[in-house]
């Protein structure tokens, strides 16, 4: 079942939401997801530890966060010479499936998130029970992107089948060339 929420949460900020102070590489920060009434989804805000402590102490939060966690600021790469991707990676596939949010991809999204967590690309930062099931919140270790994936409670007997489907989705597909006919000066085969 596709959930009505929007999962398109932006990457981590380069500065504190409360103070505007730029983060430095390796600095401990607090990331919080807040309900966003405009999109019926979530809005990400990043805070330095000092600002978060003041906010918590003064209860300055007009809305309580849906989820929050402590992480380390790692700046996203800027203008690196990125080669075009020739095949779809697990990371790209997860991004596309989360953005599309189709019911039939729920199991695949979960398996991809677990695969990327095992590869140490994603880090599970929180779980939130909802009326529709458990939501697992993952943060990309390098870019800070947030992925919210529903845990479909896949029965153990079905895990291998779903893993095979994911492997098939990630396998490079052969490029089929269109058939062409070659005519040589009205020659006919002898």
Confidence of residue 164 (pLDDT cuts 50, 70, 90): confident
Q: What would you report as the CA-atom Rg of the chain, rounded to the nearest whole angstrom? A: 22
Contacts for 162 with CB less than 8 Å, ≥ 6 apart = 107, 108, 111, 154
pLDDT at res. 3? 47
Confidence of residue 183 (pLDDT cuts 50, 70, 90): very low
- Higher-pLDDT residue of 32 and 86 is 32
Please state, in angstroms and rounded to a whole number, the distance separating the CA atoms of residues 135 and 128: 5
pLDDT at res. 9? 64
Burial string for 89-114 (b: 16+ CB within 10 Å, else e) reads: ebbebbbebbeebeeebbbbbbbbbb
- Per-residue pLDDT tens digits for 36-95: 777 777 888 899 999 988 888 766 556 778 888 999 898 876 655 555 544 568 888 888
pLDDT at res. 167? 81
- Per-residue pLDDT tens digits for 114-128: 989 999 999 999 999
pLDDT at res. 2? 45
State the average pLDDT for the chain. Answer: 79
Domain boundaries, the chain: 28-75+86-168
Q: Is the pTM of this model over 0.75?
A: no
DSSP secondary structure string, 16-48? -TTT-PBP-TT-EEEEEEEEETTTTEEEEEEEE
Q: How large is the average pLDDT for residues 157-164? A: 85
pLDDT at res. 86? 47
Tokens of 61: 């939060």
């Amino acid at each position: 079942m596709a959930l009505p929420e929007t999962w398109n949460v932006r990457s981590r900020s380069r500065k504190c939401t409360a103070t505007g102070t730029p983060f430095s590489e390796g600095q401990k920060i607090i990331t919080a997801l807040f309900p966003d009434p405009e999109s019926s989804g979530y809005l990400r805000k990043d805070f330095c530890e000092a600002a978060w402590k003041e906010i918590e102490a003064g209860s300055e939060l007009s809305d309580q966060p849906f989820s929050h966690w402590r992480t380390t600021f790692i700046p996203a790469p800027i203008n690196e010479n990125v080669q075009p991707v020739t095949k779809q990676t697990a990371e790209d596939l997860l991004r596309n499936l989360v953005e599309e949010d189709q019911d039939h991809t729920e199991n695949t999204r979960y398996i991809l998130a677990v695969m990327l967590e095992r590869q140490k690309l994603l880090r599970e930062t929180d779980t939130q029970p909802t009326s529709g099931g458990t939501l697992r919140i993952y943060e990309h270790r390098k870019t800070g992107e947030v992925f919210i994936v529903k845990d479909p409670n896949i029965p153990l007997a079905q895990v291998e089948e779903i893993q095979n489907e994911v492997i098939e989705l990630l396998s490079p597909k052969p490029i089929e060339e269109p058939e062409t006919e070659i005519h040589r000066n009205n020659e006919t085969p002898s």
